[in-house]
Amino acid sequence: MKTGERANFGSKIGIVLASAGSAVGLGNIWRFPCETGENGGAAFLLVYLLCVLVLGVPIMIAEFLIGRHSHANTASAYKILSPGTPWRWVGRMGVLAGFLILSYYAVVAGWTLDYTVQAVANRFNVMAASDPTGQVFTEYFARFVADPWWPVVYLALFLLMTHLVIVKGVEKGIERSSKILMPVLFLILVVLVFCSLSMPGAAAGMEFLLKPDFSKVDSRVVLSAMGQAFFSMSLGMGCLCTYASYFRSDANLAKTALSVGLIDTCVAVMAGLIIFPTVFSVASLTPEAGPSLVFIALPNIFQAAFGGVPVLAYLFSVMFYVLLVVASLTSTISLHEVVTAYLSETYHLSRAKAARLVTAGCLVLGCLCSLSMGVFKEYTVFGMNFFDLFDYVTAKLMLPLGGMLIAFFAGWVLDRRIVWGEVTNEGSIRFRGFQLFIFILKFVAPVGIGLVFLNELGLFRWL
Ligand code: PHE
């Protein structure tokens, strides 16, 4: 790279894989099956798909075009596109959201490292053998997250892994790692789906996920599906805006957004196809197990479901937790990049120095989040420990608010010629449905997300 020239992704496939890497994460493999289980299965899935298409993809295109047109980190992007206006605060809020999300997301990512180690050491098998009731898994999880040392060690390790990719730069770090990690992720997913579908509960699991019962669709399901689509596609904080600032001018923004939306949805559905057949294969479990599904129910399920063939139970567990590590890593990389790019470009720091600041800051905040489940349990804000507070403030408040403002900005504020120029690459490619796209940005997205937002704030108890 010449001095003064901005880094770029080297290839179109690199662009899709890096963006999909950001989108695919704990949100797909952990949060999606939880939400689907709690919201009635297939009916939720259908509403979710609608949200991805109608809301997610257009907002992703909006983030892409803001990033690529400004060629800057997300905070500077608004300063460049709308100088001297308060819009720059939307970008700054995104950077702050990225920093806070990374701090607690890396804690959960750290847990996936521990679970991988336990799976490799075949500890889940030993646990299952020692206690047929499965209580041992609940106790293990509770003890582990409250421990003052191990979760912090794994948090530090995960941040270090992320850091090492970031300092290598956009093309050699982010793009190259995505090109390796995403195919690995896909391969593991396919093997796991195949195994899962050969289990006795496969038919019941498939039916739960794929046969909709429309009587289950109510406003709560619709609002949860919107929120989930949003988090899962990494929208609302300029993550994809930052990545798009490294896109080349010939990248097709709409096509990329569609591909990323498709990959993200496929991974979520595949995670469902892994988890539900397994859940339905164990008599004592129901899909409504909630957030503990991945860390308490699943290690137990794997043993119970494949108990007759210990090798399969072992391989399934190891692959599943490696899958979680890989998916989390590509997402933490994208979160780290948002803050690193902002610091290095705004304060003229070297990339390495900016990355060190981000990693150190996240380590401090991450420790606080991790310890808030153990030694700092007594310290709460609005009745929430630090971990829950970070999750609430970012995923439930900052992301919807950011998404709403991004859609509003692209629909109402940004010069229409800029929008047109970006989505058609200055007229060289076709973009069908431009009017519809603008209509969604102007009206559907701000109103739709506004509803999710108000719901999260608890203002819709009457709905
Ligand atoms: N989309 C990621 C996931 O599904 C989470 C994420 C949210 C990443 C926001 C970046 C920005 O896990």
- Whole-number Å distance, alpha carbon 417 to ligand 1 midpoint, is 30
With a Cβ cut-off of 6 Å, ligand 1 is lined by 22-23, 25-28, 101, 231-232, 234, 237, 239, 331, 334-335
Q: What is the pLDDT of residue 288?
A: 66
Give per-residue pLDDT as tens, 164-204: 999 999 999 999 999 999 999 999 999 888 888 887 888 98
Quick: pLDDT tens for 193-226: 888 888 788 898 888 888 887 887 777 788 788 8
Tell me, in angstroms, the distance from the centre of ligand 1 to residue 386's CA: 19
Q: What angle do CA 15, 48, 294 make, to 5 degrees?
A: 80
> Cα of 230 to ligand 1 centre, how many Å?
9
DSSP designation for 5: P
- Among 22, 28, 60, 406, the mutation site with the greatest number of ligand 1 atoms within 8 A of its Cβ is 22
CA of 239 to the centre of ligand 1 (A): 9
Checking if the pLDDT of 1 tops 50, the result is no
Do residues 248 and 425 touch, judged by C-beta distance below 8 A?
no
Q: Mind listing the pLDDT tens digit for each residue in 378-423? A: 888 888 888 888 888 887 788 888 999 999 999 999 999 999 999 9
142, β-bridge pairs = none
Q: Whose CA is nearest to atom 9 of ligand 1?
A: 234
Distance 232 CA to ligand 1 centre (A): 5
Residues 6+ apart with CB under 8 A from 271: 28, 29, 32, 33, 189
The residue whose CB lies within 8 Å of the most ligand 1 atoms, and thus the one to mutate among 232, 331, 406, is 331
pLDDT (mean) for 252-260 = 97
91: closest CA among 260, 254, 229, 239? 239
Spacing, Cα 24 to ligand 1 middle (Å): 7
CB 185 within 8 A of CB 327: yes
| Mean per-residue pLDDT over the chain, rounded | 89
Q: What is the DSSP string of 360-404?
A: HHHHHHHHHHHHTTTTTTT--BTTB-HHHHHHIIIIIIIHHHHHH
